[in-house]
Amino acid sequence: MKILINKHPIFAKIKSACKIRMMQNDLHKLHKSVVKLQSSSLPDDPTPGDCIKQANIPYGQNVEVLIKKLKKDLPVLPAVVIRLLNLVLDEKSSVEDISKIVRVDQALTAKVLKIVNSAAYGLRGKVSTVDHAFTILGFDAIKNLCLSISIFDNLVKKEQVGCFNKSHFWRHSLAVASVSKALALLVNYKSRDEAYVAGLLHDAGKLILMQIIPEEYSNYLKKLNSNPKICIGFEEKTLLINHALAGNLIFKKWNFPLSLQRAVELHHGTKMADEKIPDLAAIVSVADFICWTQGLGSFNLFIQPTLDSQMEKIINLKKVSIEPVLKTMEKELELNGKIFNFKLTEPEELKKSLQKANFELGRINTLCENIKKKQDRQIRALSALNNIAFKIRKELKPSQIIQNVLPEIREGFGFARLVWLFVDHEKKMMILSGIYGEFKNNVPMASLGWSWDNKIGFPLCTCIQNKKIIHLKQDDCADESNPNSYLLRALQSSELILVPISTDNIITELLLLDNPEGNTFISADTLHLLDILAMNLGMAIENTKLFQRNAQMAIIDPLTNIYNRRQLDSSLDNEISRSVRFKQSFSIAIFDIDHFKTINDNFGHSAGDVVLKDVSEIIKKSCRKIDIVGRIGGDEFLAILPNTQMQQAFIFAERIRVNVEKYELHAQNLCSKYQMTISIGIAEFDSARDNAENLLHKADKALYKAKQKGRNLVGVL
């Protein structure tokens, strides 16, 4: 649909309200699993049960029962009105067709002639026939007048019931009809007359409800006065039915065209999920919205109108030229006010309504801005959470996880300072593992390394014991005797969060997030996301530890806790490559426990295992940091000695032989009166002739030579 473009200062507010409404709907959909917003300070909507009691509707009466009651009690529309309506909607109808109907109904003829000759039209000569009236005023004006008079006399002009103001209702209906007709022209809708009729009758359901359940509807209007929400849902909660559905029911009974039935039923957007909003329903909905913004509502209340987002998808308010629409409406309302004897909206009344509207728009704008800011914060936090989860999955070292996580948390959550602490349960200490941000006088180094039993460590200890996030704020810790205040003062912080991280169901790490100036907004959603973050971090650290344990198991001998044969072979190949490249010598030593089988046979394998562990420890303690020690198998061990020639290797081996010989003093309880000794074979690598196999063979021959000479010796080829 092509629509004229024009900007109007009043309608700018209307369009702004629509944008705000659409934004609220979008934000609600995006955050409904995380965010619960309170957008109004008005009282809560009543529950259906409360409304039934207050409306004196018998308890247990459901919607189906109420609809049956409505269908039974719906008024019958006179045949002349139905025929007149059909002719108005028929594009092929003529002046003569409508003139015949009017002439048949003497009361309608008299009413039309009285109005045409009144001061409302200001005609000079007297009009004595309907045909003359058609000639002077035109076909469109007379047929709309006849239809309006007929509907007014048969539906609206009845005894006033309760607090329902029919004057306001009829003024609103005529205004919506006028605006609907103007909008139909703007959006090139197929029938302006159909739009006029739909606008005129869009709230007919309110009249029906007022006539059939007057007491209940009066109670609803009282509630509306105390809680002014122009909301179809509020009406349905209170009455168990809404006026749109009631209007649809009566239109069906009167056998109105399906297009009118659908327009009335769906003009508030209350449709099934797979239904499509008709263009006519959208036209009526926008017209209704515009009239409420101008203080021309169906009730004598100020209600901040909202437009369903589905309607603006059909009629784009940004492109609607509102000035000619409002001028047409004002002109027709002025005439209708004289005809039907109702007052137009007073300038002072409209001014007050617009003032209230401006205030509401400001409030909604503020709310939407706050929602947008909150949404932006949550998007950043969720993005950071996603990035962290992606990064930590690839890391195999806890230190690398810390290095990657802290900057992401600061960027995504907006915290100025972050501290990662390792929990030493045995020593009851907090050990600094990582820090991000600037602390005055290096505060964490000075204080957080203390025991958690002291004053500063109290909240840290509480967090570890309870395994829950702790949120500390300066306002909550104003009393200096509060144990949580010491940590805040030590960090010179106004607010901080302690996040416990568990691995193997034990709190092993603490993440401290500092908000020193209070610039970061910390909500319940933020704490929830940090809880998810802690769970992910705990799993990642647990996985790295599991990987490290598995990696250790692949290269470490489980009994002696030194390298196994696989790692020794790899290390020997590396040392040979390094020696050849840099032309540096190195040596190896093979150790074999003398008569080890006798130990197992006489004292048991448990004693043999202890001896193996102790001998491996003696060898390891005698080595340098660059030396490599491992168990070849059984009771044999190998030491790779970088940058070591034969003479130095002999001294090293002899020192170990002597230390093992003294082992008897430590083994009395296991192998009493048994002399423990060890035989050693050493060999130096010759880059010109040796490879790994040759070198091991040389050392093995030297070991065999030591055993042949009586054991407890260092053998050399």
Q: What digits encode the pLDDT tens for the residues 318-348?
A: 777 778 888 888 888 888 878 877 766 655 6
Residue 60 binned pLDDT confidence (cut-offs 50, 70, 90): very low
Q: What pLDDT does 406 receive?
A: 86
d(CA 611, CA 607): 6
**Residue of 402 and 693 predicted with greater confidence:** 693
Q: What pLDDT does 120 receive?
A: 77
Percentage of the chain lying above the pLDDT 70 cut: 80
- The CATH number that domain 9-73+163-360 falls under is 1.10.3210
Q: What is the mean pLDDT of residues 648-672?
A: 79
**Residue of 443 and 699 predicted with greater confidence:** 699
Residue 45 binned pLDDT confidence (cut-offs 50, 70, 90): very low
Helices 95-104 + 79-89 axis angle, to 10: 170
Comma-separated ranges of CATH 3.30.70.270 domains in the chain? 556-716
Comma-separated ranges of CATH 3.30.450.40 domains in the chain? 395-552
In tens, the pLDDT along 586-614 reads 999 999 999 899 888 888 888 889 889 99
Q: Which member of 105, 203, 594, 635 is catalytic?
A: 635
In tens, the pLDDT along 446-475 reads 445 566 667 777 888 888 888 899 898 877
Q: What is the mean pLDDT of residues 191-203?
A: 89
183 and 287 Cβ atoms separated by less than 8 Å? yes
Residue 8 binned pLDDT confidence (cut-offs 50, 70, 90): very low
How many of the other CB atoms lie within 10 Å of CB of 704?
15
Looking at the chain, how many residues does it have?
Answer: 717
Residue 160 binned pLDDT confidence (cut-offs 50, 70, 90): low
Owner of token pair 């002109």: 331
d(CA 225, CA 300): 9
Q: Residue 540: pLDDT above 50?
A: yes
Q: What pLDDT does 108 receive?
A: 79
Comma-separated ranges of CATH 1.10.3210 domains in the chain? 9-73+163-360
pTM greater than 0.75 (yes/no): no
d(CA 251, CA 261): 6
Q: What pLDDT does 227 receive?
A: 65
In tens, the pLDDT along 239-278 reads 888 888 888 888 888 888 898 889 988 888 776 656 788 9
- Write out the two tokens for 287: 């017209």
Q: Residue 706: pLDDT above 90?
A: yes
How deeply is 28 buried, as exposed, middle or buried, from its count of CB atoms within 10 A (0-12, 13-18, 19+)?
middle
| CATH of 395-552 among 3.40.50.720, 3.30.450.40, 4.10.320.10, 3.40.120.10 | 3.30.450.40
Q: Residue 51: pLDDT above 60?
A: no
Q: What is the mean pLDDT of residues 521-546?
A: 85
Q: What is the mean pLDDT of residues 555-579?
A: 93
- The CATH number that domain 556-716 falls under is 3.30.70.270
Q: Residue 524: pLDDT above 80?
A: yes
Does 131 participate in catalysis according to the annotation? no
With residue 139 as reference, give the H or E element that holds it: helix 139-151
- Residue 682 identity: I
